[in-house]
Amino acid sequence: MSFLELKDLKIHFPTDDGLVKSVDGLTFSLERGSTLGIVGESGSGKSVTSLGILGLHKGGHARISGEIWLDGEELVSASQEHVRGLRGKKMAMIFQDPLSAMHPYYTVGDQIVEAYRIHHSVSKKVARKHAIDMLGRVGIPEPGRRVDAYPHEFSGGMRQRAMIAMALSCDPELLIADEPTTALDVTVQAQILDLMRDLQREFNSALIIITHDLGVVAELSDDILVMYGGKCIEYGAAEDIFYRPEHPYTWGLLGSMPRLDRERTERLMPIKGSPPSLINIPPGCAFHPRCPYSDRTQGKADTEVPALLETEGGHLVRCHLPREERRSLWENEIKPMLETT
Amino acid sequence: MTTPNEPLLSVQDLQKYFPVTKGLLKRQVGAVKAVDGISFDVFKGETLGVVGESGCGKSTMGRLVTRLLEPTGGKVLFEGQDITHMSQGRLRPLRRDMQMIFQDPFSSLNPRHTVGAIVGAPFRIQGIKTEHGTKKAVQEILELVGLNPEHYNRYPHEFSGGQRQRIGIARTLALKPKMIIADEPVSALDVSIQAQVVNLLEDLQNELDLTYVVIAHDLSVVRHISDRVAVMYLGKLVELADRKDLYESPMHPYTNALMSAVPIPDPARRNDRERIRLQGDVPSPLSPPPACRFHTRCWKAQAICKVEEPPLVELASRHQVACHFPEKVPQEAAEAVSA
Ligand SMILES: Nc1ncnc2c1ncn2[C@@H]1O[C@H](COP(=O)(O)OP(=O)(O)OP(=O)(O)O)[C@@H](O)[C@H]1O
Ligand SMILES: Nc1ncnc2c1ncn2[C@@H]1O[C@H](COP(=O)(O)OP(=O)(O)O)[C@@H](O)[C@H]1O
Ligand code: SF4
Ligand code: SF4
Ligand SMILES: [Mg+2]
Ligand SMILES: [Mg+2]
């Protein structure tokens, strides 16, 4: 069994408007020392997934089913207290907005000290020294002085770094970063991505990076999972997703994105329409109202939910189109269009 | 690209200092030099892209040229006319010609007004008579930006982010402007929707002969839509060139650093890229570093960079750079610089 395994995880929220199927049957696995990138548009269920793994929906009104195995332990059926005890040391999270994860009235140092001492019985002095070390490690200048600053005294990039320091202070075995650089400038984003890469190598932790930016996932991920409407629609090695994608939605994402590493194309190729509301997920294939190939699946597109099937060596695709047709579409139509003007 | 000799918009040594006050008496203790002496021209039919890190003065520049802010110094000329300190009354007809699109499609639309009222408002404010009535005119514009004209009576919350940005664009088009300043028009949108709006902006430019200034922090988007690109750092223009030249042979160290920081969506190139990593964040514009403002983060900085400000000069054809030690300078220009 892998270090982390999700099996058919479902997280649904009953609301006044109906049942929101935020995560609807997610299965994946991740080893220590590896990175999984989860991509998808807003509302596709990325954050609900990460909070779910951390057990943060427990005790709320969410309906959770399926299994989450972390290092041989099942967490969906575990008690809230037990999972809380795993947070920090076993698994930790970096959020998009560091202010929401840090307390405004305590210094950055006190917050790291606090987090550290939950799992380590050391004196405040030792913990403080550790906090200063961690701040230095993540590239905060003059950590000995900055340790006593409040979060609002830091710039956006420094706060993000401080939060990483806090998340890493107990050396977590699983780190989940939910849009960790979305609010940052590219220059600072590059520093943070370098930092996460280095720290992961050093601690050999398992990393999940969640983002809507295909460039960011390509920089870090070994495997990539593409989400749409609460479901995984394509999953494979980074090379599968970038060099031989087989799902029309993945093609759409690639066509929507102007790229600096290629000749400039005259025209972007957007996906028509907009992402679905998770209360009214389109029947059949959730992508069918936006899919240019929906008429090629013998009427199944809007009646039958396609299964997530292996196309080759660990590369999974959820689409009714026959494998040969998908491959030929990619090779002969999509790929040439992405590469030329 | 052909450039008519008369620029549509000409900005000369433009400045905006925001006073920083303290205490009850609001004593001025300093100034944020948000825009500190920038000059550029925008020609009819072209798109000028403006890039730079957060806080470097891009939005302030946009608000100055549309006169939503009063400049502290310098000049703004629109169609040759000096509008720098023109009164709001006299500006009104010009407001039709120069419109602004904002980043946030959620907060820039009044939630209590219907789409029809929002897109039709410019007609009423400017007192414009339309041939078949405002409703017809508004529905034509909705159609133009790819919205259903039958949605005339709907409210903004009934639309998605991309559709709201289209409503914002429809509103700016109502008065047939000559120029649109778009401040981060796609950065709040999902990737697939970003591409729709980028294509829409391009189609409208061709159809309506529009001139754009597009402010964005995404260097890939800016390369896609711009003819020329300006790079700002701490209130200054540090590089200005045709798109191809700027992206293929950036000369300013800051531009090089920005380009090298863009993540490349190609897993094979993860480890083979030569990367320039800037240290730290942008310094505060309250007390920007003297002389070359980039010297605190520049790996090429020498003693002169801390005492003498490099002027923005043309080092190659249509390629202006402000740096004492620029990269990839053509031979003749290199001699001129060192002479
Ligand atoms: N009304 C104001 N009063 C005081 N300072 C201001 C005001 N407006 C902007 N500033 C400051 O001027 C500088 C430039 O701001 P501006 O909004 O133009 O940056 P920007 O380049 O658009 O950044 P971003 O990419 O984050 O939108 C910043 O330091 C900002 O804090
Ligand atoms: N506590 C909740 N109650 C009801 N719906 C929720 C809740 N949390 C998230 N959702 C819904 O779940 C869907 C997925 O949200 P999220 O995972 O945050 O998306 P993203 O992929 O952008 O991170 C959205 O439609 C969101 O509105
Ligand atoms: S199942 Fe049909 S509608 Fe869905 S992605 Fe495949 S081709 Fe498109
Ligand atoms: S002038 Fe000096 S400090 Fe400024 S960018 Fe050029 S080399 Fe760097
Ligand atoms: Mg999210
Ligand atoms: Mg701005």
Query: Is residue A9, in this structure, part of any structural domain at all?
Result: no
Query: Is residue A277, in this structure, part of any structural domain at all?
Result: yes
**A304, A279, A57, A314 alpha-carbon torsion, rounded to 10°:** 30
Say what the pLDDT of residue B334 is.
60
**Beta-bridge partners for B73:** B15
Query: Is residue A114, in this structure, part of any structural domain at all?
Result: yes
- My answer on whether A161 and A255 are in the same domain is no
Say what the pLDDT of residue B215 is.
96
Could you give the CA distance from residue B302 to residue B109 in angstroms, rounded to a whole number? 49
Query: Is residue A202, in this structure, part of any structural domain at all?
Result: no
Mutating to test ligand 3, I would choose from A319, A326, A329, A334 the residue with most ligand atoms within 8 A of its C-beta, which is A319
Return the higher-pLDDT residue of B85 and B92: B85
Return the higher-pLDDT residue of B59 and B175: B59
Beta-sheet strand order (sheet of B313-316): B98-101, B179-183, B211-215, B47-51, B228-233, B236-242, B319-321, B313-316
Number of domains comprising chain A: 2
Q: Which ranges of chain B would DSSP assign to H, the alpha helix?
A: 58-65, 88-97, 115-126, 133-144, 161-173, 191-208, 219-225, 243-248, 253-261, 331-338
Consecutive H or E run containing A114: helix A108-119
Instruction: Decide which of A155, A171, A187 is a domain's last residue.
Output: A171
Query: Is residue A62, in this structure, part of any structural domain at all?
Result: no
- pLDDT tens track for A196-224: 888 888 889 999 999 989 999 999 999 99
Query: Is residue A286, in this structure, part of any structural domain at all?
Result: yes
Tokens 């006073």 locate to B19
Return the higher-pLDDT residue of A23 and B106: A23
Which residue from B161, B219, B281 is facing A158, i.e. has the nearest CB? B281
Residues of A in contact with B265 (CB under 8 A): 214-215, 217-218, 242, 254, 257, 259, 261
When mean pLDDT is compared across B46-60, B115-129, B272-286, B298-312, the lowest value belongs to B272-286
- My answer on whether A241 and A327 are in the same domain is yes
Mutating to test ligand 1, I would choose from B53, B59, B219 the residue with most ligand atoms within 8 A of its C-beta, which is B59
| CB B11 within 8 Å of CB B60 | no
- pLDDT tens track for A90-128: 999 998 777 777 888 999 999 999 889 988 999 999 999
Whether B247 has a pLDDT exceeding 70, the answer reads yes
pLDDT band at B212 (very low <50, low <70, confident <90, very high): very high
Instruction: Decide which of A122, A139, A171 is a domain's last residue.
Output: A171
Its domain, for residue A259, covers 233-339
Instruction: Decide which of A151, A171, A191 is a domain's last residue.
Output: A171
When mean pLDDT is compared across A268-272, B4-8, B44-48, B248-252, the lowest value belongs to B4-8
- My answer on whether A256 and A328 are in the same domain is yes
Cα of first residue to Cα of last residue in chain A, in angstroms, is 46
Residues 6 or more apart whose Cβ sits within 8 Å of residue B311: B322
**A307, A311, A315, A316 alpha-carbon torsion, rounded to 10°:** -10
| CB B145 within 8 Å of CB B105 | no
**Beta-bridge partners for A65:** A10
Say what the pLDDT of residue B298 is.
95
Q: How far does A241 lie from chain B, in Å, by closest CA?
A: 10
Global pTM reads 0.91
Indicate which ligand has the atom closest to the C-alpha of A100: 5
Average pLDDT for residues B121-142, to the nearest whole number? 83
Residue A98 tokens read as: 């560091």
Say what the pLDDT of residue A158 is.
85
**Beta-bridge partners for B215:** B50, B183
Considering A58-62, A228-232, B328-332, the range whose residues carry the highest mean pLDDT is: A228-232
pLDDT band at B335 (very low <50, low <70, confident <90, very high): low
Could you give the CA distance from residue B237 to residue B52 in angstroms, rounded to a whole number? 9
Whether B264 has a pLDDT exceeding 80, the answer reads yes
User: b or e along A213-241 (b: 16 or more beta carbons within 10 Å of the residue's beta carbon)?
Assistant: bbbbbbbbbbbbbbbbbbbbbbbbbbbbb
What ipTM was assigned to the predicted interfaces of this complex? 0.89
| CB A252 within 8 Å of CB A39 | no
Percent of chain B's residues with pLDDT above 90: 60
Say what the pLDDT of residue B30 is.
86
| CB B224 within 8 Å of CB B191 | no
Return the higher-pLDDT residue of B121 and A249: A249
- My answer on whether A239 and A330 are in the same domain is yes
- My answer on whether A239 and A315 are in the same domain is yes
Q: Is A84 exposed, middle or buried (0-12, 13-18, 19+ CB in 10 A)?
A: middle
Write the DSSP string, A118-182: HH----HHHHHHHHHHHHHHTT-SSHHHHTT--GGGS-HHHHHHHHHHHHHTT--SEEEEESTTT
Query: Is residue A282, in this structure, part of any structural domain at all?
Result: yes
Per-chain mean pLDDT for chain A: 92
Tokens 């970063």 locate to A177
Percent of chain A's residues with pLDDT above 90: 69
Query: Is residue A117, in this structure, part of any structural domain at all?
Result: yes
Say what the pLDDT of residue A4 is.
98
Say what the pLDDT of residue A148 is.
94
Nearest CA to ligand 1 atom 3: B18
